[in-house]
Amino acid sequence: MSETIRLAVIGGDGIGPEVVAEGLKVLDAVLVGTDVSVEKTDVELGADHWLKTGEVLADETLERLRGFDAILFGAVGAAPGDARVPSGLIERDLLLKLRFSLDQYVNLRPSLLPAGVASPLADPGEVDFVVVREGTEGPYAGNGGVLRAGTEAEIATEVSVNTAFGVRRVVRYAFEQAAARPRRKLTWIHKTNVLVHAGRLWKRVVEEVAADYPQVTVDYLHIDAATIFMVTDPARFDVIVTDNLFGDIITDLAGAVAGGIGLAASGNINPDRTAPSMFEPVHGSAPDIAGQGIADPTAAILSVAIMLETLGQPEAGARVRAAVAADLSTRGAERRGTTAVGDAIAGAVAARAQ
Amino acid sequence: MSETIRLAVIGGDGIGPEVVAEGLKVLDAVLVGTDVSVEKTDVELGADHWLKTGEVLADETLERLRGFDAILFGAVGAAPGDARVPSGLIERDLLLKLRFSLDQYVNLRPSLLPAGVASPLADPGEVDFVVVREGTEGPYAGNGGVLRAGTEAEIATEVSVNTAFGVRRVVRYAFEQAAARPRRKLTWIHKTNVLVHAGRLWKRVVEEVAADYPQVTVDYLHIDAATIFMVTDPARFDVIVTDNLFGDIITDLAGAVAGGIGLAASGNINPDRTAPSMFEPVHGSAPDIAGQGIADPTAAILSVAIMLETLGQPEAGARVRAAVAADLSTRGAERRGTTAVGDAIAGAVAARAQ
Ligand SMILES: CC(C)[C@H](C(=O)O)[C@@H](O)C(=O)O
Ligand SMILES: CC(C)[C@H](C(=O)O)[C@@H](O)C(=O)O
């Protein structure tokens, strides 16, 4: 029985296409000799595409993307100084619109410091946790507005929208993750002492879902305290669940702690499979180093591993992870280029085949 | 001409009264031989007080507090497990109510790693910045609510309220701080690519105020990127200005980077002097170590230094800082108790007097 993964590839802007190319190279290598094949379709989107065509994300493009099994996403966003691209336009109307429209309510962001990788901020082996970040509501809902814009009487609001439905499904997913891991520990993060309405809803739902997982230990941290623990004691974390904004903050910090943001991979997952999931490095388009062939493709390659795991190919995913870990443990002070890293990992994956 | 500071002292809960006592000890020591005296009045407030009397913060108490020149605040909050105290009640209806009612719109939180103080997270001397955190609006405004509470259809909202008035006054204060410091650099932090309404208001106001301070260099960071820089390159920061929630997060992380939260001091300042300012350590009531005489009083003592500076006694403030820095540089592995640290710093302050 053979299987074909129909994959949409959105390289995007800056270093996005460069790192995605290495992810695809490793994907091809890991599938050699398996009964799984991949059918790739490039989809042009991002700031450059918008400047060329005026399209941020057309309805037809969104419909077309729904037809794929998965999306591999590089990075989007113009250079900070580029006045032609309104700030946040591409992030919101493309990236966030994809996450919301495709109901990717789990933003899965694992942090693992493999043996041999030096981090000034943590001992190797100390970091092994996964953040389950809510992806479709909270402060990212896009609610809010402005009155008397541009005047001295201006008022601007941002509304965080939290529903029992939305919180429950992501919390349940996090408990499933925790139950399947050796330490079986779940930490939920919020700011319940200040944001009481959302905080009470999160607390109730966590407690209700916890009743179905007596084997999972649950604890709670305010977001401010969580950032301290992230740098002083990352080993205390196993599975973290939190809202969209707190998750954004804690995963960037986690990236810095776990070997740098160049290693941080993620999946925007629709666990109900009503639409494709999307896999992307946590880093941005880094316009300052684009086109130089020096971007680290590791996060994109690890995003491919998450993709394989999500699509029911855990062995292929594990082979990618093992090849990345082996490569990381040999990295010295010398900097290899983007292609060299991709070649090395693809080679290691191939050597591990069958 | 002699002057009397009428000081309200709210020790609060847990380690609050213990660390405040050392702050007062140092305050007395630094004022010996000056023409400034201090008249202290204890005001009982906090979780314990509420359990005993049912008062969180009565209108009359608030009115009484308005009559003082300043408030020295320890910490409030019951033990996390204490089911008698509703979560967040004391924090919101006492601490935040004081900050809001007394219009303490500047929450000033300096981070300084004095020579000789080891931090696993930063080189000594590398950390010298001050966070100006907005204190009276934003996500802390207490707006929001809940529909269909306790049901599967529950919706909970939190509204961040931002006004041109509120943003401008705190941004202007931050520019004043930056202009008075050698590096003259201001970094504003937000999440403008997602929280567009508030983000646009902040951006407009920062740019408008910046026009009055051509000597100050301005840059911007998203909150997620800011947490990375805080741990990888804290030396890049000079003055930071941000909203209430981002300021809460970044100052806890800054505390961890700059020698630990036991050193983090703050002022809740009403620069217009329409009501007293309030000075408090950033740490909480730490019920787990309360009553053991082991809490580090340094943050409370440094809060006294900020108080002296704010009340127009910069020399006395500088003497406290110098005594703290000297004490920190001699701290070894052995842990001294709360009183011993206070005695040492008070002694050093007295020795510096003439
Ligand atoms: C680009 C931005 C909208 C995005 C987010 O905030 O989610 C990014 O920071 C991330 O973490 O994936
Ligand atoms: C106790 C809490 C309400 C408070 C805050 O969030 O402001 C604290 O974390 C702080 O930073 O002073």
- Is residue A73 in a domain? yes
Residue A132 sits in the same domain as residue A251: yes
Number of domains within chain B: 2
Model pLDDT, residue B354:
52
Whole-number percent of chain A with pLDDT over 70? 99
User: Does the beta-carbon distance from B153 to A139 stay under 8 Å?
Assistant: no
Active site amino acids of A: 140, 191, 224, 248, 252
Domain span including residue B79: 1-105+270-354
Q: Is B140 one of the catalytic residues?
A: yes
Q: Does residue B353 carry a pLDDT above 80?
A: no
Nearest alpha carbon to residue B316 among B8, B33, B22, B2: B33
Q: Is B252 one of the catalytic residues?
A: yes
Ligand nearest to the CA of A264: 1
Query: Average pLDDT in the B84-113 region?
Result: 95
What the block records as the tokens of A240 is 């973290």
* CA A336 to mean position of chain CA atoms: 24
Model pLDDT, residue A232:
93
Ligand nearest to the CA of A225: 2
Residue A146 sits in the same domain as residue A244: yes
User: Does the beta-carbon distance from B139 to A91 stay under 8 Å?
Assistant: no
- Is residue A255 in a domain? yes
Tell me the per-residue pLDDT of B224-278, one tens digit each, with 9 for 90 and over. 999 999 999 999 999 999 999 999 999 999 999 998 889 999 999 999 999 999 9
Model pLDDT, residue B162:
98
Among A71-75, A244-248, A348-352, B349-353, which stretch is predicted with the lowest mean pLDDT?
Answer: B349-353
Phi and psi, residue B39, nearest 5°: -115, 110
Query: Average pLDDT in the A131-137 region?
Result: 98
Residue B213 sits in the same domain as residue B313: no
CA quadruple B92, B93, B99, B101: dihedral sign:
positive
Nearest alpha carbon to residue A246 among B243, B132, B245, B228: B245
CATH number at residue B117: 3.40.718.10
By C-alpha distance, the chain B residue nearest A227 is: B253
B130 CB burial (10 A radius; 0-12, 13-18, 19+): buried
The residue nearest atom 2 of ligand 2, judged by CA position, is B91
This prediction has a pTM of 0.96
- Is residue A61 in a domain? yes
Residue A189 sits in the same domain as residue A241: yes
Q: Measured between alpha carbons, how far is B1 from B16 in angstroms, rounded to an integer?
A: 34
Q: Does residue A354 carry a pLDDT above 90?
A: no
A293 is in an annotated binding site: yes
Residues of chain B with Cβ-Cβ distance to A100 below 8 Å are none
- Residue at a domain's end among A236, A260, A284: A260
Q: Tell how far the Cα of A246 is from the centroid of ligand 1, in angstroms.
A: 11
Q: Look-up: residue for tokens 């408090």? A: B280
Q: Does residue B89 carry a pLDDT above 70?
A: yes
Q: Which residues line ligand 2 (CB under 6 A)?
A: A 193-194, 224; B 91, 95-96, 248, 282
Among A342-346, B81-85, B140-144, which stretch is predicted with the lowest mean pLDDT?
Answer: B81-85
Q: Does residue B189 carry a pLDDT above 90?
A: yes
Q: Tell how far the Cα of A179 is from the centroid of ligand 1, in angstroms.
A: 28
Residue A254 sits in the same domain as residue A346: no
Does residue A95 have its Cβ closer than 6 Å to ligand 1?
yes
Contact B151, B144 (CB under 8 A): no
Tell me the per-residue pLDDT of A115-128, one tens digit each, with 9 for 90 and over. 777 777 887 778 99
Nearest-Cα distance to chain B for A18, in Å, is 22
Q: Does residue B306 carry a pLDDT above 80?
A: yes
Tell me the per-residue pLDDT of A179-230, one tens digit each, with 9 for 90 and over. 999 999 999 999 999 999 999 999 999 999 999 999 999 999 999 999 999 9
Q: Tell how far the Cα of B192 is from the centroid of ligand 1, in angstroms.
A: 11
Whole-number percent of chain B with pLDDT over 90? 88
- Closest by Cβ to A192, choosing from B88, B163, B231: B88
Residue A280 sits in the same domain as residue A249: no
Residue to substitute in B91, B133, B160, B280 for testing ligand 2 pocket (most ligand atoms within 8 angstroms of CB) = B91
Q: Which atom of ligand 1 is least distant from the CA of A92?
A: 3
Query: Average pLDDT in the A31-56 region?
Result: 97
Q: Is B224 one of the catalytic residues?
A: yes
- Is residue A40 in a domain? yes
Model pLDDT, residue B294:
97
Q: Does residue A81 carry a pLDDT above 90?
A: no
Tell me the per-residue pLDDT of A153-174, one tens digit each, with 9 for 90 and over. 999 999 999 999 999 999 999 9
Q: Does residue B4 carry a pLDDT above 70?
A: yes
Residue B235 sits in the same domain as residue B256: yes
Model pLDDT, residue A333:
74
Q: Tell how far the Cα of B293 is from the centroid of ligand 2, in angstroms.
A: 24
B336 is in an annotated binding site: no
Residues of chain B with Cβ-Cβ distance to A196 below 8 Å are 88, 92
Model pLDDT, residue A80:
76
- Is residue A265 in a domain? no
Residue B123 sits in the same domain as residue B85: no
Nearest alpha carbon to residue A298 among A267, A263, A273: A263
Residue B99 sits in the same domain as residue B151: no
Residue B193 sits in the same domain as residue B236: yes
* CA A297 to mean position of chain CA atoms: 14
Residues of chain A with Cβ-Cβ distance to B75 below 8 Å are none
By C-alpha distance, the chain B residue nearest A192 is: B88
Residue A45 sits in the same domain as residue A143: no
- Residue at a domain's end among B244, B265, B286: B265
What the block records as the tokens of A100 is 């919301």
Query: Average pLDDT in the B96-112 region?
Result: 97
Contact A35, A1 (CB under 8 A): yes
What pLDDT band is residue A353 in, cutting at 50, 70 and 90? low
Average pLDDT, chain B: 95
- Closest by Cβ to A158, choosing from B153, B154, B160: B160
Residue B59 sits in the same domain as residue B3: yes
What pLDDT band is residue B117 in, cutting at 50, 70 and 90? confident
* CA B114 to mean position of chain CA atoms: 18
Q: Does residue A104 carry a pLDDT above 70?
A: yes
SS (H, E, C) chain B: CCEEEEEEEEEECCCHHHHHHHHHHHHHHHHCCCCEEEEEEECCCCHHHHHHHCCCCCHHHHHHHHCCCEEEEEECCCCCCCCCCCCCHHHHHHHHHHHHHCCCCEEEEEEECCCCCCECCECCCCCEEEEEEECCCEEEEEEEEEECCCCCCCEEEEEEEEEHHHHHHHHHHHHHHHHCCCCCEEEEEECCCCCHHHHHHHHHHHHHHHCCCCCCEEEEEEHHHHHHHHHHCHHHCCEEEECHHHHHHHHHHHHHHCCCHHHCEEEEECCCCCCCEEEEECCCCCHHHCCCCCCCCHHHHHHHHHHHHHCCCHHHHHHHHHHHHHHHHHCCCCCCCHHHHHHHHHHHHHHHCC
Model pLDDT, residue A84:
93
- Residue at a domain's end among A212, A230, A260: A260
Whole-number percent of chain A with pLDDT over 90? 88
Tell me the per-residue pLDDT of A333-348, one tens digit each, with 9 for 90 and over. 788 999 999 999 999 9
The residue nearest atom 6 of ligand 2, judged by CA position, is B248
Model pLDDT, residue A1:
62
